[in-house]
Amino acid sequence: MKNILVLFTAVIGLNLQAQTTENSLLIKTENGLLKGASENGVDTFKGIPFALPPVGELRWRAPQPAQDWEGVRDALEFGPNCAQNGWGNYGGIAAGSSEDCLFLNVWRPEGLAQGDKAAVMVWIHGGGFVFGSGSSPDTDGGAFAKQGVILVTVNYRLARFGFFAFPALSKEHPEEPKGNYAYMDQIAALKWIKNNIAAFGGDPNNVTIFGESAGGVSVQSLLTIPSANGLFQKAIVESGGGRDGVLTARPLKEDNSDRFYPVSAETAGINFARKHGINGTDAAALAQLRALPVEQIVDGGAQHDSKGSLTYSGVIFDGKLVVETAESVYNNGNQNDADVMIGSNSAEVQALNLNAENKEELFSKFGSLAEEAKKVFDPTGEAPLAEILTKVNTDNVWAEPARFTASAVTKGGKNAYVYIFSYVTESMKERAIYGAPHASEIPYAFGNLNARWGVQQTTDEDIQMSKLMNTYWANFAKTGSPNSEGLPNWPLYDDQNEGMIEFQADGTAVGKPNPKKDRLDLIQKAVTLKELKVNGI
């Protein structure tokens, strides 16, 4: 009898524990109840709609608030990625992508509850604004959750769904911003997080946005778009530029004085309409554009028509949301209030936009600074052209703009931390001979070493580097400083000492003055004097 009572009590206890766990995974959001899942110490909530599907009449409209639902909504599967071209799939769209794509995903430490105040990190994926996903395996938030952080990933409209202008579109709904639907989606997601993350145990007043490449450009933009102010307190920019060459938007209407983009966004929209047999520019033509199938909007990833005319604008100066370049905002000290961690990889990409056949041609692009460029980029005269191209590209597009941003942030009274990622895993060393390529830091920062093609055989050095970076990133989100006991000290940036940290090729992290200072000083001088005849991305 005693054994039966013990067994009965144990069964009741297990049932109560299961019920408690089940209840802890029910989250009451402003739109209704969500049910998540728990595994390996991490709770996940996937495929949460933060806005109405941007389809039909809502194609090329500012995101509208998500609809309430009845009962409990399962948050167990990722929502579709935003519609994008599939590799080798001209005329179609990538599997798992859809125009109905405005979903976000949440990872949190198991057992976190409303009333807790966990730091929140919001990842904005890269992909050149034309591909990518908030549900990629290499940005799974489990490692951050085990650091005590809530990690949120976000989908946003891409390519022509994310950036589009057309005369009739400019006239309708005059109260709404136009063109930059990708940025509007990101801001809508941040507003959803501000209103709902406390229910998950997060602190809506301790939010860090971060992203890489186009995601880093997005973070730079959110730092300089006035309507994003107050939606986050800290920002991490990974390979996201900071100067006009990367971040300059296209004018909404024709403006031949624009030094970067003389063709307007509206003209690109008209060209796209004509390519698909739509010749007007009025409301009827806009209705025809909204009726086009998703596949025709994606258009196989094409950005020009058969005559070479532009059909995709990219980021737009709409005059309401995007009103100024990031470089101009930083120069005027008008950026949003946030501490920043920013950096680049040591060999981002080779031969981008330079196309020099020899060293003399390359150095001639520095104009009157050509001889100085030779001294800092090829002091011995023996460096291969490919190596110099890699350095110039990396410094011009990413490293010097990162330093410029850090300087502006500190002048604005906030803290900045600068990094260089130089580590290359053993399996990539034969290909990445000049240093760490673009995006190679992502699996280390996220602690997902086996999720990305670049890390195929994990070494002890890989694991150590990943632990370092994931901890620095989480520390910054939690406290505003990447430092904690047991880690190499990461110095604050200032213009005098230019302190930064390098994640070095040997697998260690070392705080020190910027080893690229001479090269970056030259790039800065060339940009200031408008001598460097090289655009950004």
Neighbour-count burial for 7-45, b at 16+ CB within 10 Å, e otherwise: eeeeeeeeeeeeeeeeebbebebebeebebeeeeebbbb
Distance CA 123, CA 210 (A): 5
| Length reported for the chain | 537
- Mapped onto helix, strand or coil, the DSSP state of residue 202 is strand
Whether 352 and 537 have beta carbons less than 8 Å apart is answered as: yes
Whether 213 is catalytic: yes
Distance CA 445, CA 372 (A): 36
Strand duo 150-154 + 81-82: pairing: unpaired
CB neighbours of residue 166 within 10 Å: 25
Tokens standing for 172? 């309708």
Please give the single-letter amino acid code of residue 287. A
Distance CA 67, CA 31 (A): 7
Which whole-number Å values give the CA distances from 48 to 43, 67, 101, in the listed order? 14, 11, 10
Among 135, 213, 344, 440, the active-site one is 213
Closest CA relative to residue 406, chosen from 222, 529, 235, 244: 235
Strands (E), 288-329: 316-317
Distance CA 133, CA 80 (A): 9
Own/partner contacts of 290-295, CB < 8 Å, gap of 24 or more, are 290/56, 290/57, 290/59, 290/60, 294/83, 294/93, 294/98, 294/99, 295/91, 295/92, 295/93
Distance CA 73, CA 35 (A): 6
Beta partners for residue 420, in sequence order: 344, 502
Distance CA 329, CA 226 (A): 10
Tokens standing for 503? 């994640």
Q: Which phi and psi (to 5°) does residue 452 adopt?
A: -120, 150
Which positions ≥6 away from 197 have C-beta within 8 Å?
A: 120, 150, 152, 203, 204, 207
**Active-site residues: which are they?**
213
